[in-house]
Every structure is written in C-alpha cells, then in structure tokens.
Amino acid sequence: MTATVIDGKAFAAKVRDKVAGHVARLKEEHGITPGLAVVLVGEDPASQVYVRSKGKMTVEVGMNSYEHKLDADTSEADLLALIDKLNNDKDVHGILVQLPLPKHLNEDLVINSIDPAKDVDGFHISNVGLLGTGQKSMVPCTPLGCLMMLRDHHGSLSGMDAVVIGRSNIVGKPMAQLLLGDSCTVTIAHSRTRDLPEVVRRADIVVAAVGRPEMVPGDWIKPGATVIDVGINRIERDGKNVLVGDCHYDSCADVAGAITPVPGGVGPMTIACLLANTVTACCRANALSEPEGLTA
Ligand code: NAP
C-alpha cells in the first residue's frame, strides 16, 4: 500500500473540539447555547441508532439536544405543526428531520417546511439554490465533510480534475457543487455513464457515493489520485458482517496518493459537520461572526 490514509475519525474529533470551543465562547461571551432539534418518525432501527449518536455528540460539545420521537403513523399535519413550532423556537438553531420518512409522508414537503436558516442538513430547496449559485448557504453534512478533508490534504483544489460517482441530492450533486466552488473541473458520473473506468482514470480526485460494495477497483484510479469513499455497505465476508465502501480499499490504496478508509473515513465527519452547521446557524441567527473553517 502506498496511499496516505486520510483519518476521518481523527479529523472529526478535531472538528468537534473546534465546535466545542465555539460553543463555550458563545455561552461565555453572549449567554447563548446552540440547540439542535432532531425529529424521528417511526422506529427504523438504523435511524434510531443515528439519532441516538447525534444526540449524544450534540451534548458532548456543550449544545442543547432536543429529540422528538413521533409514532410511525404520525400525520403530515402533525409533523408540519411540530416543524412550525421548532421554526419559531428561539432556543432551536438547527432542525434535522431524520430520513427516510414513512411512505405516507411527503419528504420534499416536510424538508421544505423547515426554516432554511435552521436547515442544518442543507436539503431545503433554498439552500440547494444558494449553494448552486455560490451564495452563503447551509451545506449538506456528508459532502461538507469530504470537502474539509480534501482541503486539509491538498490546500488548494483549484484546477484539479474531480469525478463524483453518484448524483443523489444528498451527496453526489452537492459534492459536485462544492468542488466546482473550489475551482475543480468536475464530472458527475452515474449509472448511465459510458465507460466509467476511463472517466474515473482522468480524475485527480475521485469521490465515490454509489452504494455498491467495492465497485471501484484500483485499476480505475490514476496513480497518485485522492480517493474519497462515501459508501457504507454492509456485506458478509468469511461468515462475518463487515462494512465496506464503494471502492476496493486494498487495490485502490496501492495506486492512490491518499484514500479514506471505511469505516473511519467520511462517516465520522458527517455528524461532526452537523454540529459545525448548528454552530454556524446559531452565529448567523444572532448576527455574530461565524467560525472560520466550519463551513464551505
Ligand atoms: P443513492 O441516492 O442511492 O445514489 C446512488 C447513486 O449511484 C445514483 O446517482 C446512481 O445513479 C449511482 N449508481 C448506481 N449504480 C451505479 C453504477 N453501476 N455506476 C455508476 N453509478 C451508479 O445513494 P446516496 O444516498 O448518494 O448514498 C451513496 C452511498 O453513500 C451509500 O452507500 C450510502 O450508504 C453512503 N452514504 C454515506 C454517508 C456517510 O455519512 N458516510 C452519508 C450518506 C450516504 P443513477 O442516478 O443513474 O441511478
């Protein structure tokens, strides 16, 4: 293996420390405690785990955590009424509705009912538009985490060829916007892309957000390229359940200049960026200068 391992776990701990420092300053100098409200509808086991760990880390950095657990059959009207209440609550600076929602709820309608200034997931249509036009926005957490790691590793990304594999609204598209914002030449690949291996071979930066275990082998990677593996796939190997990314780690690490592992790469950065976004939202809501290095 020749690649430098980009340690997302350690980087995320640094981001959380930085967030904790800003939270302490907000309390001491302004008497403000940033607050994050997380809304969970139903009992999806994976969502319950995510919500629990978000709540725990929110409290660990000194912020207030408000958890709202609603029954799986909650009506759209009741969910929208709760969001309206949180939108108008001055102690709540960030609102996150855990996805996926039960099928009877309209996800777009629910997300777009969140006050864009409190939309710490960055999924509201206003934030998507602001990001796309290069204006100050709330930036989706997973791509923000990828961008932070890339900036930390490379300094400037200007002029680099970047290929994002995947065009989802939560990862692929905002990732491409962020890379474009940092002056990369960006290609977005997807399931209909012709000759994907050749497209990926051109890239100085490869971000894989596909959801297919170990789909990208090392011989697709340009020697020295940086590989950011967003994929989280549970597979069975040698009778054990293991987590793997969208890239074949060993073969990619033999060719790449740098690579994020799975687990321990992008994953931990996502929650750290959620906390960072909450502090940023809190500073903006109170017309205070926002912390440097915690958003795009
Ligand atoms: P998604 O909404 O399912 O999107 C997957 C994308 O991959 C689609 O755009 C799809 O193309 C493309 N794709 C599928 N098969 C392909 C192929 N053979 N070749 C090229 N492109 C292909 O997934 P997502 O929500 O973006 O998530 C992607 C992965 O990241 C998942 O493993 C997920 O668990 C993980 N994830 C991790 C984090 C984290 O915190 N680390 C956060 C979010 C997601 P089409 O559009 O053409 O169908």
Q: How far is the C-alpha of 55 from the C-alpha of 40, rounded, in Å?
A: 12
Query: Is residue 18 in contact with ligand 1, taking CB distance under 6 Å?
Result: no
Q: How far is the C-alpha of 106 from the C-alpha of 118, rounded, in Å?
A: 19
pLDDT band at 279 (very low <50, low <70, confident <90, very high): very high
pLDDT band at 116 (very low <50, low <70, confident <90, very high): very high
Give, using CA atoms, the residue closest to atom 17 of ligand 1. Answer: 191
Of the residues 18, 118, 121, 204, which is catalytic?
A: 121
Cis peptide before 174 (omega within 30 of 0): no
pLDDT band at 109 (very low <50, low <70, confident <90, very high): very high
pLDDT band at 253 (very low <50, low <70, confident <90, very high): very high
Q: Is the pLDDT of residue 232 over 80?
A: yes
Give the pLDDT of residue 170. Answer: 96
Q: Which 3 state secondary structure label does DSSP give 195?
A: coil
Query: Is residue 192 in contact with ligand 1, taking CB distance under 6 Å?
Result: yes
**Placement of tokens 């997807």 in the chain:** 190
Give me the residues paired with residue 201 across strands: none
Q: How far is the C-alpha of 210 from the C-alpha of 230, rounded, in Å?
A: 8
Instruction: Write down the pTM of the prediction.
Output: 0.98
Which element (helix H / strand E) includes 285?
A: helix 266-285
Give the pLDDT of residue 199. Answer: 98
Ligand 1 mutation pick, 57, 191, 246, max ligand atoms within 8 A of CB:
191
Token representation of residue 109: 């309608």
121 is catalytic: yes
Give, using CA atoms, the residue closest to atom 22 of ligand 1. Answer: 191
Give, using CA atoms, the residue closest to atom 15 of ligand 1. Answer: 191
177 is catalytic: no
**pLDDT tens column, 156-197:** 999 999 999 999 999 999 999 999 999 999 999 999 999 999
Name the phi and psi angles at 166, rounded to 5.
120, 135
Token representation of residue 255: 């060719």
Give the pLDDT of residue 125. Answer: 98
Q: Is the pLDDT of residue 1 over 80?
A: no
Give the pLDDT of residue 142. Answer: 98
Per-residue pLDDT, averaged over 77-87, amounts to 98
Give the pLDDT of residue 24. Answer: 98
Per-residue pLDDT, averaged over 146-154, amounts to 98
pLDDT band at 95 (very low <50, low <70, confident <90, very high): very high
Query: Is residue 140 in contact with ligand 1, taking CB distance under 6 Å?
Result: no
Q: Is the pLDDT of residue 278 over 80?
A: yes
Ligand 1 mutation pick, 53, 54, 190, 234, max ligand atoms within 8 A of CB:
190
Query: Is residue 163 in contact with ligand 1, taking CB distance under 6 Å?
Result: no
Query: Is residue 166 in contact with ligand 1, taking CB distance under 6 Å?
Result: yes
Give the pLDDT of residue 255. Answer: 98
